[in-house]
Amino acid sequence: MDATIAPASGLADRVGFYACLAAPEALGALTSGQVAGCEAILAACVGWPASWTAYALATAYHETAHTLKPVRERGSGDRDHDGRDDYLAKYDSGPLAAQLGNTPQADGDGVRYAGRGYVQLTGHANYLKAGQKLGVDLVGQPDLALDPAVAAKVMRFGMEAGWFTGKRLADYLPPGWNAGAVQFAQARRIINGQDCASLIAGYASKFQAALAAGLWRP
């Protein structure tokens, strides 16, 4: 195959994409870890319009404190010495645990199915649903949700189908090329209300410009 032939979908010009992101007014030069994260997310988002892909990248950039590496939800420690993390115990028993599909007993489900990934996949029911969609045993091996390729696919399908809050990308972003700052800000409702919505919208606009420079093809 001729290496000069552009791919049918995805980035046609990776140099252009990363050069655009590296500009001082954008994100600056990315580390190798950040590049690896971008690549995992870009691979998962093939077939999506640029605005959706840009918002996935921006969401991961924000949720991982700019590292673009899947993260595990942090607890607070066991200060009351009951054998459970004080913060994650809220997922272990009670109404929230039931909502998430965890067992009603205080048996460690809160830690086992705590949040993981580029966005925080949380609870037995959500690990089961995501695992079935991806063909991966996330219930038996929840740490697989920290694998970049798996985490990126969880984010893709979750944002597309409304797994996280019931809101979907299609509710806010256009199926064509560009989305504006207001649309990107509203899209935060897919993940977490309007928390840091304007900040993430700014990241999304920068990623969208980089996708244009990289000749992104759905």
pLDDT for residue 5:
46
Q: Is the pLDDT of residue 204 over 70?
A: yes
pLDDT tier for residue 144 given thresholds of 50, 70 and 90:
very high
Q: Is the pTM of this model over 0.75?
A: yes
CA distance 30 to 18: 8
- More confident: 89 or 196: 196
* pLDDT for 1 beyond 50: no
Rounded to 5 degrees, φ, ψ at 68 are 60, 30
Do the Cβ atoms of 81 and 89 come closer than 8 Å?
A: no
Q: What average pLDDT does range 80-87 have in this prediction? A: 70
Average pLDDT rounded to a whole number, residues 91-103: 91
Q: What pLDDT does 90 receive?
A: 87
Q: Between 50-63 and 197-213, two packed helices, what is the crossing angle to 10 degrees?
A: 130
Please give the average per-residue pLDDT across 37-61, as a whole number: 97
Can you give the pLDDT at residue 19? 98
Q: What is the mean pLDDT of the chain?
A: 92
Extract the tokens encoding 11. Answer: 């980035």
C-alpha 69/C-alpha 107 separation (Å) is 29
Q: What is the dihedral of CA 43, 48, 51, 57, to 10 degrees?
A: -20
Of residues 176 and 65, the one with the higher pLDDT is 65
State the DSSP string of 5-18: SPPSSB-S-HHHHH
Average of per-residue pLDDT across 119-125: 95
**Which residue's entry shows tokens 């949040």?**
115
Residue 120 has pLDDT above 80, yes or no: yes
What is the rounded CA–CA span in Å between residue 165 and residue 168? 8
Sort 113 into a burial class: Cβ within 10 Å, 0-12 / 13-18 / 19+. buried
Q: What is the pLDDT of residue 40?
A: 98
Alpha-helix residue ranges (DSSP H) falling in 2-49: 14-22, 32-44
| Residues facing 14 on adjacent strands | none
Place of tokens 């390729």: 149
| Local confidence band at 77 (pLDDT 50, 70, 90 cut-offs) | confident
For the cut 70, the answer to whether the pLDDT of residue 82 exceeds it is no
